[in-house]
Amino acid sequence: MTAPGRGRSGAGAGRVAAAAGGVLAAALALTGCGILGGPAPGGEGAEAVEAPAPEESLAAPDVDVSLLPEEQVAPAPRMRLADGLAPPTNRWFSSLALGDAPQPVFPMPLAVALTGGGFAYGLPQVQVTETSILAPFDPQVGADVGAASAVVSAYDVASVTVELRDGAGAPLGHLQVVEGSPVLRYTAATDHDVAMTAAFTVADGRASTEVLDREHVLVGPGGADDPGAGLSGDGRVLSLAAGESVAWFPVPDGASGAAVDTLVEAASRPVTEVSAAFGAGDDGVSTALTYATADGGPTAVVRMPHQADSAGATCDLGTYATVHGTVDVCTASTLGWSSPAVEPGGRLDLSVLDDDARAELADQVRADAAAVEAGTLESPSDTYFGGKALARDANLLTLADGLGLEDAAAALRSGLAERLREWAEPDGCERRAERCFVHDPVLATVVGKVPGFGSEEANDHHFHYGYFLYAAGVVAADDPALAADLAPVLDLLAADVASGTGVGGMPSLRVFDVYAGHSWASGYAPFADGNNQESVSEAVSAWNGLALWAQATGDSELEEQARWMLGAEAASACAYWTDFDRDDPALEGFGHQVTSLVWGGKRDWATWFSAEPSAMLGILVLPAQPVAPSLAGDPTRIRANLDEALAGPRDDPASWDVMFGDQLLMYAALAGPDDAAAALAVARDLPDERIDDGNTRAYLLAWLLTHASRPPR
């Protein structure tokens, strides 16, 4: 959970289109967090996944934002954005365009910031403490072009262009920042000088300087043939004519002279556009980013840990230490990688239960269903807790259905349908002040009239709306009439967080970062450490909900996209939140098992809402939907994560009497049937106050009973 205005924490102008190449990286036939140790693409046990044809794009739901009342729930932020661009909320670069003042951004591996007269960049120096992995912005090379203002003038799936303007508002030049690139480029719109904070000298056929014991290379308008073109005598001023450009990059660790020459050649080649393609199969999902260049040649990219089994890149140019670990430096035109598939799901398999287990569970389902009907289990009116309550009752409904409890199931189904229809009334906010949605025409987003955790500023929308989509997908799975009634508004919620085409003026893939493989939670990202995401498991839950809703409405394109996002987010959840490589030298000294809050420029063992150790893990594993086994993996790691989170030994029931105790018990079951059986014994007597508001004791018991009844993995 996040404080309002902070955020738990591509774009309208840059469509997400299919990358060239036809076949993406092979999809791994793995489950859970096994991606970190899986086979190479195309190897034994892998299946090739076809990319979309070039004319295809991401899902384009047929939505109409005019159905909702127009209202700004929060004051409009200051915008530094060219006309015609959708406000890029929930991006790694959002603060460049939105909010009181631009903040540093972290496109990996660089950090970049706008300054008084221009901009500066640096390769963040990783600093590791017991509780944090820090890689803050460090301005190692700065450039003053005499700018008085700046606006975001273009962006796509992985790049942003900032137009620097003079005092009269006329363009001076354009700064291009490309996610995944170690190269920063500036192109002049008029003849002018670039005054730099470091002196570059020409030697060995290149212009370079040394900052903090690292060589930085300048590639000016003369390219590799004339590395000193435009440089002043002291090497601190570069003269550019209109249309000429300059690029800089830090030399990677371990780079040979030949590698630096290759990077100079790549840096001489401007990136013109970045586009993406995806594929989703039964065993894996694949992602490909194409970095188009002016002459069609390859550019420089870095390969993050979740992209380690990648295709299309030559990665022999050295490495950088980053906040996410050691990354390889590569050349590529298309960088493709694969992740294990996660099968969408909304029901537990109760067929594995014996008669005694079914009887025990039936008693608890009846009790919880009665509490829902009596209002003891509340249904709040804000979009976060209200959505959680809908998903809670949908899970309870599936248990009643699965156990043949017809009376309880009928009451739950009727109540859920009634509440979903209320939330989905397009004109609801014209008649009441809660349980309804409006369209903010300035932010181009859908907002609940009773927001939560800063959702009026576009924070956390995927967390909130994922619960609505999940509940609707479960309840309407076999009820076409209900699906049709809900579709006008539920499709808008889906489009708000995941539209692939910028429908209704919304940015494409509002929250999902294709390169990073995960979402960002803060709408404006008004932080010196970039954007952030805490509850990555709720992001996984959101894409599961999106897939279930797509199934309920028969939208096969949206379902494929949701499956891709589900697999990709689950893989990154493992790679950076719950199961990252603790032996990576770049992370040496970090004293914890998980990083519960991941930023562009740091990773913390901390949350927005609690300092309790149980909160650090609990926020990464809730809600325990049927797709939660995507967080499985090495049972030893699961147990170690729990040992850090609990109040004492795992075999002491009192140790589980902590915040998110129910969620941690459900996570424990992923280690194997014996662990599930031990957790079940604790869960039966877990205090009521330890049952999360999005959960019930019935679902807790059902989860543990079904996992205890399965054979070991």
Residue type, 701: L
Of residues 112 and 505, which shows the higher confidence score? Answer: 112
Can you tell me which residue has the tokens 């700004």? 72
CA 254 to chain centroid, in Å, comes to 31
Q: What is the pLDDT of residues 210-225, one digit of tens each?
A: 999 999 999 999 999 9
Inform me whether the pLDDT recorded for 51 exceeds 60: no
Here the tokens at position 122 are 């640096």
Please, what is the average pLDDT of the chain? 91
Here the tokens at position 618 are 């609990």
Exposed (0-12), middle (13-18) or buried (19+): which is 45, by Cβ within 10 Å? exposed
The DSSP secondary structure of 528-563, one letter per residue, reads TT--EES-HHHHHHHHHHHHHHHHHHT-HHHHHHHH
Inform me whether the pLDDT recorded for 6 exceeds 90: no
DSSP-based three-state secondary structure for 257:
helix
User: In the predicted model, what is the mean pLDDT of residues 637-649?
Assistant: 97
Exposed (0-12), middle (13-18) or buried (19+): which is 517, by Cβ within 10 Å? buried
The DSSP secondary structure of 174-217, one letter per residue, reads EEEEETT-S-EEEEESSSEEEEESS--EEETTEEEEEETTEEEE
CA 309 to chain centroid, in Å, comes to 20
Here the tokens at position 569 are 């987010």
DSSP 350: G
Identify the helix (H) or strand (E) that includes residue 336.
Answer: strand 325-340
CB 446 within 8 A of CB 68: yes
pLDDT of residue 391: 98
Considering only CA atoms, give the Rg of the chain.
26
Can you tell me which residue has the tokens 């199934």? 551
Inform me whether the pLDDT recorded for 395 exceeds 50: yes
Please name the residues in contact with 654: beta carbons below 8 A apart, sequence gap of 6 or more.
647, 648
- pLDDT band of 39, cuts 50, 70, 90: very low
Can you tell me which residue has the tokens 């000298």? 201
What's the rounded Cα separation, in Å, for the pair 489 and 495?
10
Phi (first) and psi of residue 72, to 5 degrees? -95, 110
What's the rounded Cα separation, in Å, for the pair 77 and 506?
16
DSSP-based three-state secondary structure for 601:
coil
Identify the helix (H) or strand (E) that includes residue 153.
Answer: strand 149-155
CB 139 within 8 A of CB 121: yes
Of residues 129 and 311, which shows the higher confidence score? Answer: 129
Here the tokens at position 106 are 């972290």
Here the tokens at position 307 are 């992209």
Inform me whether the pLDDT recorded for 2 exceeds 80: no
Here the tokens at position 372 are 């829902």
Residue type, 186: Y
- Please state which of the ranges 255-259, 308-312, 379-383, 649-653 shows the lowest mean pLDDT: 308-312
284-293/319-322 β-pairing: unpaired
pLDDT of residue 32: 57
Greatest distance between any 2 Cα atoms in the chain: 87
Residue type, 247: A
Inform me whether the pLDDT recorded for 307 exceeds 90: yes
Dihedral sign, Cα of residue 150, residue 124, residue 631, residue 382: negative
Helix-helix angle 613-621:536-553, to 10 degrees: 20
Size of the chain, expressed as the number of residues it contains: 713
CB 414 within 8 A of CB 475: no
pLDDT of residue 633: 81
- Calculate what percentage of the chain has a pLDDT beyond 70: 91
Can you tell me which residue has the tokens 């809660």? 434
What's the rounded Cα separation, in Å, for the pair 163 and 85?
13
pLDDT of residue 24: 40
Q: Where are the domains of the chain?
A: 350-708
- What are the C-alpha distances in Å from 26 to residues 37, 616, 633? 15, 34, 20
Inform me whether the pLDDT recorded for 13 exceeds 80: no
CATH 1.50.10 fits 350-708, yes or no: yes
User: In the predicted model, what is the mean pLDDT of residues 528-552?
Assistant: 98
Q: What is the pLDDT of residues 549-561, one digit of tens each?
A: 999 999 999 999 9
User: In the predicted model, what is the mean pLDDT of residues 374-388?
Assistant: 94
Q: How crowded is the C-beta side of 114, counted as CA atoms within 13 Å?
A: 24
What's the rounded Cα separation, in Å, for the pair 656 and 397?
27
Q: What is the pLDDT of residues 416-474, one digit of tens each?
A: 999 999 999 999 999 999 999 999 999 999 999 999 999 999 999 999 999 999 999 99
Inform me whether the pLDDT recorded for 177 exceeds 60: yes
- Calculate what percentage of the chain has a pLDDT beyond 90: 87
What's the rounded Cα separation, in Å, for the pair 184 and 597?
27
Q: What is the pLDDT of residues 244-269, one digit of tens each?
A: 999 999 999 999 999 999 999 999 99
What's the rounded Cα separation, in Å, for the pair 235 and 201?
6
Q: What is the pLDDT of residues 616-642, one digit of tens each?
A: 999 999 999 999 888 788 999 999 999
pLDDT of residue 713: 58
